[in-house]
Chains A and B, each alone.
Chain A
Amino acid sequence: MRFTTIGKGIGAGVAAAALVIGPGLAPAGAPAVPAAQAQGEVTMRVAHAQEIDTLNPFTAVFLVSTQIGRLMYEFLTVNSAESSSPEPGLAESWESSEDNLTWTFKIREAKWSDGQPITAKDAAFTYNLIMSNEAAATANGVAVANYESVTATDDRTLVIKTKTPQASMLSSEVPIVPEHVWSKVTDIEAFQNTEAFPAVGSGPFVLTGYQQGQSTTLKANDNFWRGRPKVDVLQWVKYENADAAVQGLRKGDVDIAYRLTPAQFDALKSDGNITTNDGRNRRFTEITLNPSNPKPDGTVFGNGNPVLKDVKLRQALHHAIDVDTILDKVKQGHASAATQIIPPVYPDWTYTPDDSKLRKYDPAKANALLDEAGYARGADGTRTDKQGQPINLRLLVTSDRQADVQSAEYIKEWFGEIGIGVTVDTKSSNESSDDQNAGNFDMAFTGWSVGPDPDSMLAQQTCKVVGTELSDSNFCNAEYDALYAQQLAELDREKRKELVQRMQEILYDNVSAIVLTYDNELEAYRSDRFTGFQKQPADGGVITGQNGYWGYYSANPVTADEAADAGEGDSNNTVLIVGGIVTTVAALAVVALLVSRRRGANADERE
């Protein structure tokens, strides 16, 4: 190998690099026009960090995938923007029979994105496919588990018969697919829905392109029954790390970013082109308390500390937690104090205890409860259990949930003050999942994103799921289970509301878990380009992560004139950033120089 040839190689490489850098040096206002984007089309880009598993609506289970699915396929009934209560989708009206077992839906006159009419037969085909094909039941099998039969009596009428009355019927969220396309799919399991574009749909947008792990492209559906969206192209761009997504937003590579950290969120506030949204969301954070309930088959579940069976002790633990401090120091104001498992974004289902019942931060009361229950303090101040052993509880925390890791430190301190020792077990999400699944913990941080119908979240607290992958708190209470069955069969929304409230009251009284906070979604968008986002709930809700397509559907492109008036001060920021960088590089250079000096000196000594 002649060394000189490498030199030439480098030269050639530099030339090639220059070619490549070329487009980047072009004026910033004129980026390369991507494929599938004609002149004058308005493209909105969403940065997402979570993964897409598949875009097949029968098998997609991840949040982003189902989020995109909502844009592609309409449901019979959708969740309203105001409060997530059911309102007409493909079905313009519906009624249930006297015995509450037969539902009749009237399907509206509308067209698929390819111009074919949408009929009740498409809906019947979809439901029957899920009911008859195991693979097709992957994502939505739960919705149809209680269905007896689904038939289209004519093009406009769909009849669903259920085995038992089902109150969650109108929030079932099953994407209806076109029979003329999907009847040709032979293997639902292997089908990705990205084999042919555009993927015929009925939602506001139509899937027109997909690069796995990179981007998903949707175009406005001209035939959407509510009318065509104002955004022409909606692209989902995968960002593997949130900091890069924030930079992409600042620069304008993307128009919306979500799941921001408080630090990122606060930093974006000063950017004149960007509007931040601290949206009330459907997520909550809780600490579950392992009650050591046996599994449904009677076997022992896990190795939780038996003192947690005592409701007085659980109440005392709740009284010892200063939620305001967590809201302030850990969540930095981007959350609200919680009471139970259905967040207030669902006003019909959420539960607020009477002031007399509400367990506030009160260490004195906590101590009194523990004294009363007979947990005396030992010599070192730690309380002892009935066998005279000092009480020490393990608190399981997942290491990638940074806020929980911080909260755990506070909780250790607060529980210490009432004489309860805490060992914080910080584990990887896989390990923590194993421990929770096996019941090998005393207390564990966890949290859920709650759907528009309370049924699923309530089902997670019933006896029959204790010790399975499904259980949330491993709670088991006969009265609760009876009410659970009752609410599911109660089709009168007002009556069902009372039952759901009563169920959560039982959970609260028994301290099935300490529900800490309702966590906001931190999102930010380029308000110099888009406005008019419909939030869900309408009052202070979210744009991304909705139970609906309202946010993306309502987006309004800002015209050139409006854009000129809006946002200045961006240049300021750029100067700051570049200044910071230059300083850093200079600092690095100085370090390099110093190290080189020292190395030089050492080398001399050695020689």
Chain B
Amino acid sequence: MVDVLTTTDSAADLKRGGGGVRGGSTLRFVAAKIGGGLVSLVMVVVLGFFLFRAMPGNPVRSLIQDRPGDLAQVERLKREWSLDKSLFAQFLDYLADLAHGDLGTSFKYRQPVTDLIWDRVGATVLLTGTALVLSVALGIWLGTRAAWRHGSRFDQLSTATALVLWSVPTFWLGLIVLIVFAVGLDMFPTAGMTSPGGVDGFFASVLDTGHHLVLPALTMVAVVYAQYLMVMRSSLLEEMNADYLTTARAKGLRDDLVRSRHAVPNALLPTVTIIFLHIGFLISGAVTVEKVFSWPGLGLLTYEAIQVPDYPLLQGSLIVLAGAVIVMNVFADIIYRLIDPRVRTS
């Protein structure tokens, strides 16, 4: 009842406020959200610098371990990486470089951080994007059906399967998938995003990449689709006894249509929000899956940078990873407002 009341209130509010005022408030809302996002990003930029330097680890020690060194070399490295300067001076250099869009040069790879990250973003987005699309589709589809016939054998089985997969350790599941499909059945390769060295020809290389993508994407889908299923299922369950569904049925609509035209669009809202929030995390990827299948993603790049620690690379990755999350959060707020009239006015 409360829900219904607020909705009517909102509808009334909506009518009272004219079109012009509403447009203005939307603009102000969007500006505020973007402003908030920018503030967060600035904090990330500042925090990133000090956070990683406060972390344990000594890059000089890590990078001379494998090779005969002498004191001159230690000093040379410290000078090259500005580690002999004061922390504040390093911070100013970092800000100045950043202002020019320069994320610095990786200690370890001796390459511009921007290039390194750019090389890996594609791989990560391909894997996590594919997995997201598939898991959303699967989650929504199963969740809808499970809720529509809740308590049924289908509901119990699909929900339970999803939850079991969700709780299985990703590393373990990935290895099992690898052993079964790549080794036992010999259907897929055991590592990488392409065959070693790559293949010639556009079509061939698309197929080759796709072939390598199957197992990691499958593992990721298996692990994450449960969250879409559960959200979709519970939000649809909340709608199940709504009056408008009774009305729709009374109009003589088929059960399928009641579900797809009336119930699902209303129940989709929370799922959409979750999807947008997850898109932000797409870039940070899934380190575990990348590690099992040797997928050359950004998550692994960052993980391996921590072990040095490679400050410029870590700062750059943090800005990109956190930036993606912040931007998608802003989007989620804005889009949610656009598609749900109730949020617009409250």
Interface residues of chain A, those whose CB is within 8 Å of chain B, are 1-4, 6-7, 9-10, 13, 16-17, 19-25, 28, 31-37, 45, 47, 51, 53-54, 56, 59, 61-63, 66, 134-135, 137-139, 141-143, 145, 189-190, 192, 209, 211-215, 217, 235, 237-241, 243-245, 247-248, 250-251, 253-254, 428-431, 433-434, 437, 449, 451, 455-456, 459, 464-465, 468-470, 574, 577-578, 581, 584-585, 588, 591-593, 595-597, 599-600, 603-604, 607
Contacts and interface: CB of A to CB of B under 8 A. Distances in A.
A430 B292 contact: no
A19 B74 CA distance: 53
A599 B180 contact: no
A430 B179 contact: no
Contacts of A4: 260
A84 to B, nearest CB: 15
Contacts of A21: 187-188, 211, 214
B260 A2 contact: yes
Nearest to B156: A596
B332 interface: no
Contact of A142 (B70, B138, B213, B268): B70
Contact of A66 (B67, B138, B150, B156): B67
Nearest to A27: B186
B191 A237 contact: yes
B223 to A, nearest CB: 13
Given A2-B260, A53-B108, A604-B151, A238 B70 contact: no
Contact of B294 (A7, A240, A465): A240
Nearest to A576: B184
Nearest to A238: B294
Contacts of A578: 180, 184-185
B157 A593 contact: yes
A486 B80 CA distance: 33
Interface of B: 55-58, 60-64, 66-74, 76-77, 80, 105, 108-111, 116, 119-120, 133-134, 137-138, 140-141, 144, 150-151, 156-157, 159-161, 163-164, 168, 175-176, 178-180, 182-200, 204, 207-208, 210-211, 213-214, 259-261, 264-265, 268, 290-296, 300-301, 304, 306-307, 309
Given A134-B76, A250-B183, A190 B110 contact: yes
A66 B195 CA distance: 24
B68 A142 contact: yes
B109 A6 contact: no
A51 B307 CA distance: 11
Given A139-B67, A239-B191, A600-B151, A593 B58 contact: no
B179 A595 contact: no
Contact of B196 (A217, A464, A599): A217
28 contacts: A34-B196, A35-B197, A35-B200, A54-B109, A61-B64, A61-B66, A137-B76, A139-B67, A145-B72, A214-B296, A215-B192, A235-B197, A239-B294, A244-B292, A251-B186, A430-B309, A434-B57, A434-B58, A456-B69, A465-B71, A469-B60, A470-B69, A578-B185, A581-B176, A581-B179, A584-B176, A588-B168, A596-B161
Contacts of A51: 108, 304
In the complex, the 4 A-B pairs of residues with the closest C-beta atoms, listed nearest first: A430-B57, A596-B160, A20-B210, A456-B68
A53 to B, nearest CB: 5
Contacts of B151: 600, 603-604, 607
B306 A430 contact: yes
A62 B66 contact: yes
B110 A240 contact: no
Contacts of A189: 110
A206 to B, nearest CB: 14
A549 to B, nearest CB: 18
Contacts, number: 271
Nearest to A603: B151
Given A1-B268, A61-B63, A581 B180 contact: yes
A34 B68 contact: no
A6 B134 CA distance: 10
B198 A211 contact: yes
Given A238-B294, A593-B157, A449 B66 contact: yes
Nearest to B78: A469
Given A37-B197, A595-B160, A603-B150, 5 more contacts: A241-B292, A244-B190, A434-B58, A585-B180, A593-B160
A17 B56 contact: no
A34 B137 contact: no
B70 A459 contact: yes
B190 A35 contact: no
A456 B70 CA distance: 9
A470 B64 contact: yes
A56 B108 CA distance: 12
Q: Which of B175, B210, B291 has the most CB of A within 10 A?
A: B210
Nearest to A579: B184
B193 A214 contact: yes
Given A23-B211, A253-B191, A34 B160 contact: no
Contacts of B208: 23, 32
Contacts of B140: 3, 6
Given A142-B68, A215-B192, A240-B291, A3 B260 contact: yes
A218 B178 CA distance: 28
A585 B63 CA distance: 44
Contact of B192 (A138, A214, A430): A214
Contacts of A134: 76, 80
Q: Which of A6, A254, A469 has the most CB of B within 10 A?
A: A469
Nearest to B63: A61
B137 to A, nearest CB: 5
Contacts of B213: 20
Nearest to B296: A213
B178 to A, nearest CB: 6
B144 A3 contact: yes
Contacts of A588: 164, 168
A34 B198 contact: yes
B198 A32 contact: no
Contact of A244 (B60, B80, B178, B264): B178
A61 B56 contact: no
Contacts of B74: 468-470
A574 B111 CA distance: 43
